[in-house]
Amino acid sequence: MDVVYGLVVVLHLLGMAGVVGGWLATVRRPAMVPAMLHGALTALVTGLLLVGLAYARGDGDEVDNAKITVKLVVALAVTVLVWVNRRRPDVPARLVHAVGALAVLNVVVAVLWT
């Protein structure tokens, strides 16, 4: 079970990297690139899997549900923003930057919320 959990963590981090990397790659000419969509969906699904696996492993007492709720709301916001604007040719720069900033916020919450 530890190996499965570790692999899901790796996928979760790769999803986040897809969103942040897609954002950084388009800083000069902001756009919603496919990497951002696929990364957001990957991070969202694997995040839910990680919480489910934590409870399945018997580590449910160690899960901070308030932290998970905040991360879920931010991840949903990122995913919805990218999904809705994925085919727009003229996405406002501030919207693309908001998606990137929200993804970074989720990383900050994950690391610094104790």
Contact 40, 75 (CB under 8 A): yes
Residue 70 sits at the vertex; the CA angle it makes with 77 and 108, to the nearest 5 degrees, is 90
pTM of the model: 0.93
Q: Please state, in angstroms and rounded to a whole number, the distance separating the CA atoms of residues 83 and 81.
A: 6
Contact 95, 81 (CB under 8 A): yes
Give the pLDDT means over successive 10-residue stretches in the chain (114 positions).
94 98 95 97 98 91 95 98 94 96 98 95
Range of the domain at 20: 2-112
Domain count, the chain: 1
Residue 27 sits at the vertex; the CA angle it makes with 21 and 33, to the nearest 5 degrees, is 55
